[in-house]
Amino acid sequence: MGYIHHEAHLRSSDVISDIVIGMSDGLTVPFALAAGLSGAVASSSLVVTAGIAEIVAGSIAMGLGGYLAGRTEADHYSSERRREVAEVESVPEKEKEEVREVFAEMGLSPALQITIADELAKDKVKWVDFMMKYELGLDEPDPNRATKSAFTIGLSYVVGGLIPLTPYFLIKSPHEALLYSAGITLLCLFIFGYFKSKVTGQPPVSGALKVMLIGALAAAAAFGIARLVGG
């Protein structure tokens, strides 16, 4: 069958995933907000004010949200680890039983489950490592993850958000600015969606079209509803 073996199971790095998180909302939400306001206000300067307020609000909310998520993950890991260390000391038989359960779920025979549990129990550090990873499904987080995450997400949001806003800085009529904003942003969403899909191992063109479609739908809906409310 001409099958070539290579395990290209791509895993995006943390930084790339943070850029994707920040930029995907950053390109979409300020774009849609600006489009919505373009249908409801007379001057581009109001769109710029609202757009910048949104970029500041969104980047801080998402950046600090990322920081908090990172800290929570780190705290969670260390509190669970302390618990496992204590349990391995105080209730070793119960913990061995839990090791066996992990392998029972994998479909291994009871005899093999016991052999494995006894072997793992010889080294307490390894044993705790095992419980953390395979019983609880927790990987040790990078200690600087929270801070890096906050900056990467926040900055990506700002960069993404300034793209749709640029035409409103330069063109007085919000209707005219919207045309340029939509053109540039949909193009950027396409390019962004293309690379995002590549990185996550998805078909890039259809991924790019989906990302672009979300932006277009959000902008069209915001435009229609803001016009109804503001008009």
Using CB under 8 A as the binding rule, the residues of this chain from 21 to 50 that contact a copy of itself are 24-25, 28-29, 31-33, 35-37, 40-41, 45-46, 48-50
φ, ψ for residue 120, nearest 5 deg: -60, -35
Q: Which amino acid is at 79?
A: S
Q: Does 170 sit near a copy of itself (CB under 8 A)? A: no
Shortest CB 190 distance to a copy of itself, Å:
14
Q: Does 200 sit near a copy of itself (CB under 8 A)? A: yes
In the list 136, 159, 162, 209, the residue contacting a copy of itself (rule: CB under 8 A) is 136
Shortest CB 189 distance to a copy of itself, Å:
11
Q: Does 144 sit near a copy of itself (CB under 8 A)? A: no
Judged by CB under 8 A, the chain residues 78 through 117 that form the site for a copy of itself are 80, 86-87, 90-91, 94, 106-109, 112, 115-116
Shortest CB 201 distance to a copy of itself, Å:
7
DSSP code of 142? P
CA distances from 190 to 84, 138, 187 (A): 46, 35, 5
**Helix H segments across the chain?**
14-38, 44-90, 92-106, 110-120, 124-130, 145-170, 174-199, 204-230
Q: Does 126 sit near a copy of itself (CB under 8 A)? A: yes
> Residue 111 and residue 158: Cα distance in Å, rounded?
57
